[in-house]
Amino acid sequence: MTEGIRKILIIEDDEGLQRQYKWNFDNYDIIFAGDREQALDYINRYDLKVVLLDLGLPPDPDGTTEGFAILNEITQRQPNCKIIVASGHEARASAIKAISLGAYDFYQKPVDADEIRFMVERAFNLYDLEQENRLLQKQQKAPRLRGLISACDKMEKVCAVIERVAPTNVSVLLLGASGTGKELLAHSLHDLSERSEKPFVAINCGAIPENLIESELFGFEKGAFTGAHKQVKGKIEMAEGGTLFLDEIGDLPLAMQVKLLRFLQERIIERIGGRKEIAVDVRVVSATHQQLHNQSDGGVFQENQFREDLYYRLSEIVVNIPDLKDRDGDALLLAHSFLNKYANQYQKGAKTFDHKAVKAIGSYQWPGNVRELENRIKRAVIMSDNSKISFKDLQIDYDDGQNDVMNLKEIKQISEKSTIIKALAQSKGNISETARLLGISRPTFYGLLKQYNINIEK
């Protein structure tokens, strides 16, 4: 969930007011609609969090028919959207009716810049909170694979493939960057199969020295080599009836690839130093973060690092696991889940994330994926004694461009800027008139425009 500039739809036909809103919401991405048709066009095109809606619009600018018709459309099509309704002095009753029909809040014209800014800010915050809550509830309702947390469509698809192929014996190759959950999914494939009562045996092909990997996989007989004091079964044999998980398969040395291929073709092994052929029934799941097979240029096949024939044996089904940054909303969902898990585990009491931590989690790129997220949260829970975890506790570089505490000078500047904007709106951008309203000279006024970076053209 990348946190960009907030988009707001303002449905208002009065150009003067549109100008004022532009100044008021200069840090928002504003889209204006002047009538119902244009409004509906935007409502169909964008997912909207907050809409400002003037009830009196052409062709009925003094009534409310257009406003209510739009309100009805938005509540039907985007029921989670926060709609703030604007009404004239005498139309308080209509505003209240709008609330009963699903609007979030209302204000009476003339517009007070500060009031409306706060109202909009609050609506966005509430929307974000509710959205987070919806994700959590969705997750609670649908735990598909044990221990796997996700609410995004991409992972839904991955889970659907896992569920479908789990009961079969096909070889599955899991492709995903470090920490994306390859091992977790390999476990799911096992748990959801008829082999679940039998062993799940994992071997990390990248972590075992080349000279030991053969004995790890195939085992050895007593006396096969110096130090072989007794017969030892290999991992393949240990997985009999169950699932063999070959992790980091891309690191398997070429000589071992040949031996593994032979096993996959014939389903028999010979222990080192043994003469007997032993039939083994295992289901093979493998995983790698490497691109073993590059469709466009033949990839590593050409460089002779990974055998093509082995690749095709292992990859009857290929599952691509997306990076965490590409799973909408999942980072936050996982973060909450890990927060609860570790707060319980370390008996730290109830913990939550503060507002900026939520934003930071949503915008950080998570190069180490779920593993990194889990580690950062675990560390924050252990290291912090506060009930609210901040982005600093998570040690994420995050800059929202705002300081927590405003000093008096900043408050004065904000109110000065907003007064200038109001005056500009009132005088429709006329410089002399605005300077007169503010009781200052034109040069002073120009100085202030420059200081506050106010663009009159806007």
Ligand X SMILES: Nc1ncnc2c1ncn2[C@@H]1O[C@H](COP(=O)(O)OP(=O)(O)OP(=O)(O)O)[C@@H](O)[C@H]1O
What's the closest the beta carbon of residue 431 comes to ligand X, in angstroms? 58
Which of these ranges, 73-81, 104-112, 366-374, 416-424, lies near ligand X under the rule CB under 6 A?
A: 366-374
Instruction: Give the nearest distance from C-beta 8 to ligand X in angstroms.
Output: 33
Judged by CB under 6 A, does residue 393 bind ligand X? Answer: no
H or E element at residue 186: helix 182-191
Other beta carbons less than 10 A from residue 377's beta carbon: 27
Q: Which stretch binds Mg ion (CB under 5 A): 129-137, 155-163, 178-186, 424-432?
A: 178-186
Give strand pairing partners of 57: 60
Closer to ligand X at the Cβ: 235 or 417? 235
- Nearer to ligand X by Cβ, of 163 and 433: the residue is 163
Beta-bridge mates of residue 83: 51
Q: Distance (Å, rounded) from C-alpha 110 to C-alpha 189?
A: 62
- 103-130 burial, b at 16+ Cβ within 10 Å, e below that, comes to bbbbbbeebebeebbebbeebbeebbee
Q: Is position 370 an interface residue for ligand X (rule: CB under 6 A)?
A: yes
By C-beta, is 14 or 163 nearer to ligand X?
Answer: 163
The region of 83-91, 171-179, 339-347, 378-386 touching ligand X under the rule CB under 6 A is 171-179
Site for ligand X in 317-346 (CB under 6 A): 334
Q: Which amino acid is at 422?
A: K
375 sits near ligand X (criterion: CB under 6 A): no
The only residue of 14, 26, 121, 183 in contact with ligand X, by rule CB under 6 A: 183
Residue 144 neighbours by CB distance under 10 Å: 17
Binding segment toward Mg ion, per CB under 5 A, in 177-185, 237-245, 269-277, 449-457: 177-185
The answer to whether 201 contacts ligand X (rule: CB under 6 A) is: no
Binder to ligand X among 176, 234, 242, 322 (CB under 6 A)? 176
Cβ neighbours for 307, distance < 8 A, ≥ 6 positions apart: 254, 257, 258, 261, 301
Interacting partner of 374 out of ligand X, Mg ion, none (Cβ under 5 to 8 A depending on kind): ligand X
Query: Does the protein bind ligand X through residue 178 (CB under 6 A)?
Result: yes
**How far, in Å, are 23, 76, 124, 434 from residue 121 at the CA level?**
15, 23, 5, 28
Instruction: Report the residue from 14, 73, 112, 183 that binds Mg ion according to the rule CB under 5 A.
Output: 183
- Angle in degrees, CA 424, 430, 436, rounded to 5: 75
Which span (67-75, 135-143, 181-189, 261-269) binds ligand X, by CB under 6 A?
Answer: 181-189
- Please check whether residue 70 is in contact with residue 11, taking contact to mean a CB–CB distance below 8 angstroms: yes
Part of the chain binding ligand X (CB under 6 A), chosen from 26-34, 84-92, 180-188, 403-411: 180-188
Count other C-beta atoms under 10 Å from residue 79's C-beta: 8
Distance CA 215, CA 231 (A): 11
> Which residues lie below 8 Å from residue 248, measured CB to CB, with a gap of 6+?
204, 205, 206, 207, 287, 288, 289
Q: Which of residues 75-104 bind Mg ion (CB under 5 A)?
A: none
Taking CB under 6 A as the criterion, the residue among 33, 123, 158, 181 binding ligand X is 181
- The residue sitting closest to ligand X, measured at its beta carbon, is 181
Per this entry, what is the length of the chain? 458
Draw the binding track, 131-150, toward ligand X (x: CB under 6 A; -: no contact). Answer: ----------------xxxx
Among residues 117, 198, 262, 289, the one that binds ligand X under rule CB under 6 A: 289
Q: Does residue 324 sit in helix, strand or coil?
A: helix
Q: Which stretches of the chain bind Mg ion, using CB under 5 A?
A: 182-183
